[in-house]
Structure 1
């Protein structure tokens, strides 16, 4: 399996509901380094996985409405605990939509999957792996 990874970051504020989250139930900020990995079994006719420039642009666009916002006020997340794991899934699905509608270019047609990893710190991260059909 071949893979290409691009990176960006977001800065957000949010809070959680539930005793399991302890002090994180209060409003707090987070900065995530976001890696998006695009996979395919075989390289395309140009010997690439995906256009890296378009992948970088589309990752940035997929994050644009999240960065510098309080996710508690974001309509998409009403009533949702926006955990790192959950946000990784949201970003992966946004990128899959962009692959499907052509915003990632024609090279994205053969993608087998997308994995998004949000790094909370240098010691903790969460990922979501999406298989494309």
Structure 2
């Protein structure tokens, strides 16, 4: 399996519900380094997994919908704890939608999957891996 990874970052504000989150139940900010990896078993006719420029552009566009926002106020996250894991899945699903829409070029339609990793710090991160079949729940 081949893969290509592009990187960007987001800065968000949010709070959590539940005792397990301790002081993070209060509104706080977070900055994440975001890696999006695109996978396919074989290379396209140009010898690539995906157009890196388009992948970078689309990751930036997806993150632009989240960055500098208080996620507690975003309708898409109403009633949801926006944990690192939840944000990984959200970003992966939104990238998958863009692949299906052709925003990463026609060759990207042959991608097998996407993995999104959010790095909270140099010692902690989370990932979500999804296929590019039907939308996963």
The bucket for the TM-score relative to the shorter chain is over 0.9
Say whether 1:58 aligns with 2:77. Answer: no
Say whether 1:45 aligns with 2:39. Answer: no
Distance apart, 1:122 and its partner CA: 0.5
Instruction: Give me the whole-angstrom Cα distance separating, in 1, the residues matched to 2:80 and 2:111.
Output: 30
Aligned length: 133
TM-score, normalization by structure 1:
0.99
RMSD between aligned residues: 0.5
Instruction: Give me the whole-angstrom Cα distance separating, in 1, the residues matched to 2:41 and 2:24.
Output: 40
Report the counterpart of residue 101 of structure 1 in structure 2: 101
The runs of 5 or more residues in structure 2 that have no matched partner are: none
Report the counterpart of residue 92 of structure 2 in structure 1: 92
Instruction: Give me the whole-angstrom Cα distance separating, in 2, the residues matched to 1:63 and 1:73.
Output: 16
Corresponding residue SS for 1:13: strand
Instruction: Give me the whole-angstrom Cα distance separating, in 2, the residues matched to 1:109 and 1:46.
Output: 14
Report the counterpart of residue 78 of structure 1 in structure 2: 78
Report the counterpart of residue 10 of structure 1 in structure 2: 10
